[in-house]
Every structure is written in C-alpha cells, then in structure tokens.
Structure 1
C-alpha cells in the first residue's frame, strides 16, 4: 500500500524566463498558501532579467538555478529542476500559475495515495481538462482532443494533463523532457508517458490559476514552430490536429 503523501515530501519545480514578476507572484502565492514549501526555480533568462535579480527577497526563499547560457529551453530547464529535487515527490508549475486555496493540495495528495496513478494533474480554471492523444490518418497525424478512458468520481484517467501536476520524482526523472525541444514540449512529454504506459489522470476538483503574463520577447521564444516540427518528426507524425479542429504540419 502506498504511504500518504505529505507536503514536506513535495518540491515545487518552476522553469522561468524573462517573466520575473510572474515568477515572483507564483512564489509568493506558494508561500502564502502552503506551509514552508520547498521550491526550485530554474531561470535561463538574460542576467539583467532574472527573477533573483528583480526579486531577491522572494528568490531567497527558493533554490534558484541559473543556466550559464540563456534560453536553454523548457526541456533542459525542467530536467535541471527535477534533477535537483531531494524529496520523493515533485509538483510541476509554470511561472504564470498562481496558487489559491482551490488547489486543494491535501485532497490531491490523498488522491495520489489512494488511486492508481503516476501523474496526477490539476485543472487550470476552464482549461486542463482530461485530454487524449490519438493517431489519425494511418498513424501519421496526432490528434489532441478532450476525453478520458475511465474515471472515479472527480479523478479521470487520460493521456495528458495540464502543466501543473504531482508525481513521484523518480518517475519524472526517468521520463524527462526532450532537451532538444525548447518549446512545444508539452504534448511530446505526455506522448512518451503514454508509450511508457504511465497512468495519467486529472483531479477535476483541484485547480491552479493560470494568469498569463504577456511580453513580446517571451511570445517570440514560445512560438518557434521548428520545435513543434522536431517533436512531430521524432514520433513519425506529419501533422497535428488541435482540440478546436485546427491542423498544423511538421
């Protein structure tokens, strides 16, 4: 029988670049709503735009890792964070998330203990619903669509959750993010989790607030379609269909 996940067993992992105020807001929300959280922040931004430079008092409450080279990407950044974790469990967060009481972290920990799950995600407001990754066109197109395989109350098993999830550190250390993908890494990470037969679920009554912070250079960094193409080609897909029906090609 799995033992109960305690808050002291969890490290919160954040990858950030060029959104220091957003990262500060997330860290402060963790400190406000969680008792003495363990936080790791990986910042691959330019030195003058780093979280620790702009908000040293917040950064002092975290283990902050700076990369020698700016813009190493999401894959490398998240792997650096997970490799630095010293607790049995980790909770992944994006730097524009905000923790509120609606996270219901105690409930999430209990679910992780009692349910057959390897990655347990939470909702992002109206987003972050249980999502499936299905093959179309004789396996040449990957389709990202809403769906689930089964559920137990509010917990629904699926192929992909949001970027806010609880997992055993060793599970994520073994799976890892593809370090060649600086962006468009999300579906590819969960597609490999599917291939590895990891059990992914979403707790529909646990929420993180997604409060997007826009900046022109961040938008440019995120929308480099070459990395989407790399991920698709890696798995033998020539195109991707999004939940709304739009199609993009490798």
Structure 2
C-alpha cells in the first residue's frame, strides 16, 4: 500500500526534524511525505526545503497562513497515496507501524485504526479491548464505541489512523472552524465508511505538553464547537442503526465539563462577561450541573472546592466568573 503522510508545519522549527525522522525509519521507498508550511514566521519553511532536498520521498509545500485545516487540505490536494496519514509537526510515529502494514490483510476497509501514547500521561491509550481485525460498521463496536469517541478520542482525532484516499474523495477540513474541525472531518468520513481495520499496537506519540495543548489553554469556544459537530454525530449514529441519545448526552456533558475545567483551571484573557456567559450556559445544562455537583462533593481539597460548590449549587454564574478571574489575577 502506498501511503501519503501530511504534516502541517507552523512554528515547528524545534520539532519538525524529529517528526520527519520518526516517519522515515523503516518507511517504504514509495512513501510520500508532504510538509505543508503554513506561512510560518520562523525557520520552519527553510527546514522543510532542506529536508525535502535530502530525501526524494519528501515534498515541501508552502502556503499563506490559514491554520491547520487549510494546511491539511493543501496536503490532501497533493496526496497521491492509496492511504493518507495525518501527523502533527510536534508528534511522532512510533516504531513498528511500517512492518505491521506490510502484512496487514486489509481488503475494502476505509480506515486503519491503531493506538497512541500521550506524553502528558506517559501512558499508552490503545484500541483495546478490540482485537486485531475487521469491524463492520460502527454498530459492531457496541459498548466500546463511546470510549473510542469520547474517552480515548481515537475515532474523533485525525490521528492515529490511516484513511483510504478514495473514500476521502472531496471531503475536506472546515477551514472556518478553530476547534473540532478534525472531529467533524472524522465524523463525516465515518459516514462514508463501511468497515474499519483495528490494530492493538501503539504507533503514534502525541506530545501534548506544550502551551498550545487544549488542556493548558484557556479558550471559550468548546460549547459552540460541540454544537457544530453534534448534528453530524447524530446522523452518523442513526445511519449505523444506533440510538443517538446516550452518545449526544455524553458529547454535550463532556463539552460542558471540559469548558468548566478550562475556566477554573487555566489562565487567559477571557473577560468577566465572557466567563459569566460560559458559566451560565454550563449551569443551564441540568445533567452537566449534576455531574459537577457530584465531583465537587467528592473533591479531596474540600476548602478549595467551597467557592465552586457554592457557585454550582446556587447557579451563580456571575459569582463563578468573578471568583475565577480574581483568582487568576491575584493568586
């Protein structure tokens, strides 16, 4: 199988060589490695050109800055492999993938899914308890589907997986979205997918320890992003004969919890009004509010949790907004 790897490159001067080296170790001679430099202000573009001059399998593409979605779309236009793999410029492929793919009995599957390791936890997150092999439609994943979508995120992220390029067709990443554009791409691709081949092996390392990591950056668009992907997720589930209600409930509540976690745990430039609006939306969700109240009751740091318990119990978004902003400024 011929594979095209697409790496969006922006401010990646310190990590790009490591990412490229990880893809080339043991890689086949017909590999196509596309480095899409996205108008980066540092030396990333020059590094792309240098790497391309050193190995015929590498092509450097340059475009004005448009974000990761635009860079991935540029790569898709240039991809010529039977399969496409997306790799972030600060991540790595782990050894063994090329050897496994050489003997993989894939026939008409449109996706090959494998495990990843997150640097932030140091733990491998695999597709287990799935066994190696073919899975017809999402319904064959049964009770493991929710974990793959929400807990590990293996089905929701653009990695760690290979997409059959013919199945991608004209599908592209939505360049108007600043978050969840990858989730939407995956959901829309899965709507076109009849079978997935799963590997238990871990072949992708996600280096999610930088300041740009979602878990370390304060942003206020998680609820809006979930609202964008929810209708597509519902169509996907119905298409596979699955009841969407429990999955949509999980999607909505997790978005609320993640947004709450960023508001209470991260520093950033959101104003008092913006914070209040977000807390109000979270507290208006009865299911999310119940989960938050339960977590706060069980919080081992009882004294520190008191202001949050009061704000959630009394449904005071203004209080929570003022407290988190004051804590950020003075603590």
Say if 1:119 and 1:59 are closer, same or farther in 2 by CA, change over 3 A: same
> Residue by residue, what CA displacement relative to the aligned partner does 1:103-129 show, whole Å, maximum 9, x if unpaired?
3x2323543624x52111221124554
Which residue in the other structure is 1:30 paired with?
23
Shift of 1:199: 3.3
Greater per-residue strand proportion:
1
SS in 2 for 1:30: helix
C-alpha root-mean-square deviation of aligned residues, in Å?
A: 3.6
Q: Does structure 2 retain, via aligned residues, the 8 Å contact 1:94–1:164?
A: no
> Residue by residue, what CA displacement relative to the aligned partner does 1:208-242 show, whole Å, maximum 9, x if unpaired?
2223462x5x459x865437624623644896343
Mapped to 2, the partners of 1:90 and 1:194 lie a distance apart of 15
Shift of 1:82: 1.0
Mapped to 1, the partners of 2:226 and 2:15 lie a distance apart of 28
- Give TM-score scaled by structure 2 length: 0.54
Which residue in the other structure is 1:229 paired with?
224
Which residue in the other structure is 2:252 paired with?
240
Say if 1:21 and 1:59 are closer, same or farther in 2 by CA, change over 3 A: farther
Structure number with bigger Rg: 2
Partner residue of 1:124 out of 108, 116, 126: 116
Mapped to 2, the partners of 1:223 and 1:200 lie a distance apart of 35
Which residue in the other structure is 1:135 paired with?
none
Say if 1:166 and 1:34 are closer, same or farther in 2 by CA, change over 3 A: same
Worse-superposed segment, 22-31 or 175-184: 175-184
The unaligned stretches of length 5 or more in structure 2 are: 118-122, 136-140, 150-154, 232-247, 260-280, 283-331
Greater per-residue helix proportion:
2
Q: How does 1:131-210 map to 2 (within 5 A)?
A: 151-153=130-132, 157=141, 158=145, 160=155, 162=157, 163-210=159-206
SS in 2 for 1:94: coil
SS in 2 for 1:21: coil
Worse-superposed segment, 162-171 or 51-60: 51-60
